[in-house]
Amino acid sequence: MRDDDATPSRHARRDTGAGAAPAATKPRRRRATVGAEVRAARQGAQGAESGAAGVTGELAETQRRLAAAEAALAEERRNLALAEEALERERHRADAATATMEAAQQRGAPTPSPSAPPTPEREGTSRKEGGAQWAERAERSRDDGDTASRSTLPGLGTMGNMGSLAGLGNLAGAEFFAASQRMMQAALRNPGLALQQSSKFVDEMTRIVTGQSKIAPDPKDKRFEDPAWTTNPVYKGFLQTYLLWRQSLNNLVDHANLPKKDADRARFALSLYTEALAPTNTLLGNPAAMKQLYETGGASAVRGLTHMIEDVARNGGLPSQVDMTAFEVGKTLAVSKGAVVFKNEVLELIQYAATSETVYSRPVLAVPPQINKFYIFDLSPGKSLVEYLTQSGFTVFAISWRNPTAQQRDWGLETYMRAILEAVDVVRDITGQETINISAACAGGMTLAVTLGHLAAKGDARLNAATFMVTVLDSSVESTMGLFASKETIAVAKALSKARGVIEGQEMARVFAWLRPNDLIWNYWVNNYLIGKDPAAFDILYWNNDTTRLPAKFHTELLDFSLKNPLTKPGGLKLLGTPIDLSQVKLDTFITAGITDHITPWQGCYATTQLLGGTPEFILSSAGHIQSILNPPGNPKARYFTNAEYPADPAQWLARAEQRSGSWWDRWREWLGERSGERVRAPATVGNARYPAGAPAPGTYVFEP
């Protein structure tokens, strides 16, 4: 027996002295222990029930998301079936037209022959002579009968050049596979070419396997910045094999002696294919994604799968570009002070409050594109044209278009022209000015151009000077957008918009995304799905995803523009009872474009200098499409090109242009100030007795779904 068992402890002796029974102490302790165990068991059961409830809730949420995704997929299938039916009808029409042409040829009737896009006849062409030559070349291109297959597709501008392809969905794939087929046929006709490329491929693969290959990605390609692509032999070999394969396919196109149009289509089709199969787009082939998977214990994969399910259900199956919950219009975006001073069925007119003691007497009216919301002009503090202009002493008005539904399917160019003219008169009434300045972007610019043509035909001088931002009026300029815009696909697009009454903005956004898949699709695929990060909070992308619809009539008119290119021909279009001749538009114009713009190519924007009368000033920004509009001062990398001479060939203009540092906004402020009259005391309020202030800016139409 141990001593501590034989001898009571000091505490035990004290308890004994108090009259307690030492023998009862251990049973009480045992009962307490048992009670604690029971309570722990109960708590464990409750925790298990709670965990089961949580799992059940997660399962229910997953099932809900899957159901939403299935519904979205069913809708896409219905859309595709509708498109295929329309395509089949157009194929029958095309077959009938072909039979008619063959019959005409058998009778000896002449048929049009294709011709390459003409080039300027001489370097020293003046702007006036160049404009005539430009119109003549555009007319010849139209007469060739294949304008749509190589055109820029004018008018829709920002979000609008995609109008001819919008709504096609997988129909554009018909042209995609046709281009691929033509490339394969060329390869079969020239087996020596395929053999030569195969031999080069095998030789270079040998060098890759032995570690002697020098193939490397473009230093600007951020997909392969991870050190593993150069330090890990497996990843390095994987990358070099991919680059070699992509290079070999492109070499095959380069040496296949295809017509230029077919070669361009084939290169674009190949780029979609090869970029989709880049190793970085797979989990195992992306070292950054694998590292994230390991560090999070698989949680990144779960988050990525969740993002994918949500995008299938809500974003048409494409990865989300932006966190749409991070901003709120009227609170973090479009926050400049002002009020609606006029409203009709088509638009709201907003006047912004002055922020300086004096202002220029002549106001400026901003006309936004019909796709996306108007607050591209008033994005956020520091990125707002409205803010910049009001701080510079200008009285600023802006149009906010109503988002059309199927009920407004009959809204067309004339509808928007009348609305602009009505807004102009309200601005004149409020400010007491006989003439005003006006600026417009993208599709709004095309609408402004035909409005100016209408006013010129009537001898109406209520507009003093005009600014066109990233606006294409001549559809004969080549672009990626036009590669797959054949007469057949355009006819299908018309049929779809007429059937629905509108074209959805998200459909057009998807077309734009596939023009730059690495930047606008696969970049977010990797971030959202493979790495499992949430989309970024970026104001420009928020606006870009805040889309609107196009009414069917307006959409159809824009498609006809791409086929007929009417603005390059005096009187080629009649609107509001007047022929449109842009050469009769004699006011001063300020025209901007972006050198890396993939939607409205800068050469197409430059063509406006040849179409309009009056004195133009053309500015070429170093940025892309949206950043060419949102180009506030303060960016040390910003620059633009300028040249006071305007030959017919845009390449000649650029070759002689002067590069300047800074934002074109500052130059535009100077240009606009010179045409805005004297400085006067700023108005204390917005509106007047006839047009009093209504809803505060940004108005009510901007919030309509």
Identify whether the C-beta of residue 582 lies closer than 8 Å to the C-beta of residue 611: yes
Q: Please count the helices (runs of H) and the strands (runs of E) in the chain.
A: 27, 16
The enclosing H or E element of 579 equals strand 578-579
Q: Kindly name the residue from 442, 456, 477, 495 that is annotated as catalytic.
A: 442
Q: How far apart are CA 266 and CA 583, in angstroms?
A: 38
Identify whether the C-beta of residue 610 lies closer than 8 Å to the C-beta of residue 567: no
Beta bridge partners of residue 594, listed in sequence order: 621
* Number of C-beta neighbours around residue 347 at 10 A: 24
Tell me how many degrees the CA angle 210-215-218 measures, rounded to the nearest 5.
155
Phi, psi of 395, deg, nearest 5: -90, 120
Identify whether the C-beta of residue 441 lies closer than 8 Å to the C-beta of residue 158: yes
In 162-298, alpha helices (H): 172-189, 191-209, 228-231, 233-254, 260-276, 287-295
Q: What type of residue is 55?
A: V
Instruction: Say what the pLDDT of residue 168 is.
Output: 36
Tell which residue, 674, 611, 619, 607, has the closest CA to residue 644.
619
**Domain boundaries, given as residue ranges, for the chain:** 1-41, 338-485+538-703
Instruction: Say what the pLDDT of residue 377 is.
Output: 98
Q: What type of residue is 31?
A: R
Q: What type of residue is 217?
A: P
Q: How far apart are CA 362 and CA 680, in angstroms?
A: 10
Q: How far apart are CA 168 and CA 300, in angstroms?
A: 34
**DSSP symbols for 110-139:** ------PPP--S-TT--HHHHHHHHHHHHH
Beta bridge partners of residue 640, listed in sequence order: 621, 660
Q: How far apart are CA 610 and CA 561, in angstroms?
A: 18
The per-residue b/e assignment along 265-278, b for 16 or more CB within 10 angstroms, e otherwise, is bbbbbbbbebbeeb
Tell which residue, 493, 446, 408, has the closest CA to residue 162.
493
Instruction: Say what the pLDDT of residue 541 is.
Output: 94
Task: State yes or no: cis peptide before 698, omega within 30 of 0.
Answer: yes
Phi, psi of 538, deg, nearest 5: -135, 120
Instruction: Say what the pLDDT of residue 188 is.
Output: 63
Q: How far apart are CA 118 and CA 255, in angstroms?
A: 24
**Which residues, 6 or more positions from 546, have their beta carbon under 8 angstroms from its beta carbon?**
329, 372, 373
How distant, in Å, are the alpha carbons of 236, 254, 267, 268, 489 from that of 264?
Answer: 30, 10, 5, 6, 18
Q: How many residues does the chain have?
A: 705
The tokens for 33 are 């222990």
Instruction: Say what the pLDDT of residue 569 is.
Output: 93
Phi, psi of 336, deg, nearest 5: -65, 140
SS3 content of the chain, % helix, strand, coil (to 5): 55, 10, 35
Terminus-to-terminus CA distance in the chain, angstroms?
88
**Which residues, 6 or more positions from 37, have their beta carbon under 8 angstroms from its beta carbon?**
none
Instruction: Say what the pLDDT of residue 494 is.
Output: 86
Q: How far apart are CA 131 and CA 612, in angstroms?
A: 8
Order of strands across the sheet that contains 364-367: 338-343, 347-352, 396-401, 364-367, 436-441, 463-469, 588-594, 616-621, 639-642, 658-661
Instruction: Say what the pLDDT of residue 614 is.
Output: 94
Identify whether the C-beta of residue 154 lies closer than 8 Å to the C-beta of residue 561: yes
Q: How far apart are CA 616 and CA 644, in angstroms?
A: 9
Q: How far apart are CA 525 and CA 519, in angstroms?
A: 10
The enclosing H or E element of 499 equals helix 487-500
* Number of C-beta neighbours around residue 336 at 10 A: 24
- Distance, CA of 229 to chain centre: 31
Residue reference for tokens 């009670």: 35
Instruction: Say what the pLDDT of residue 13 is.
Output: 38
Tell which residue, 157, 155, 161, 158, has the closest CA to residue 450.
155
**DSSP class of 641:** E
How distant, in Å, are the alpha carbons of 323, 335, 347, 354, 418 from that of 329?
Answer: 14, 8, 18, 21, 28
Phi, psi of 466, deg, nearest 5: -130, 145
Q: Which CATH number fits domain 338-485+538-703: 1.10.40.50, 3.40.50.1820, 3.60.20.10, 3.40.50.300?
A: 3.40.50.1820
Average pLDDT for consecutive 10-residue bins of the chain (705 residues)?
40 40 47 55 56 55 61 60 57 52 45 35 45 49 41 40 38 55 66 77 93 93 95 95 93 83 84 93 96 96 95 89 95 98 98 97 97 96 98 98 97 98 98 98 96 98 98 82 69 87 87 86 96 95 94 93 89 96 98 92 95 97 92 94 97 97 97 98 97 98 96
Tell me how many degrees the CA angle 447-448-450 measures, rounded to the nearest 5.
70
**DSSP class of 354:** P
Instruction: Say what the pLDDT of residue 502 is.
Output: 94
Instruction: Say what the pLDDT of residue 7 is.
Output: 39
Q: How far apart are CA 321 and CA 482, in angstroms?
A: 25
The enclosing H or E element of 147 equals helix 147-150
How distant, in Å, are the alpha carbons of 131, 156, 453, 561 from that of 450?
Answer: 17, 13, 5, 12
The per-residue b/e assignment along 383-395, b for 16 or more CB within 10 angstroms, e otherwise, is bbbbbbbbebbbb
What is the crossing angle of helices 25-106 and 299-314, to 10°?
Answer: 50
Phi, psi of 568, deg, nearest 5: -90, -5
Active site residue 442: yes
Which 3 state secondary structure label does DSSP give 342?
Answer: strand
* Number of C-beta neighbours around residue 237 at 10 A: 15
Tell me how many degrees the CA angle 166-169-175 measures, rounded to the nearest 5.
95
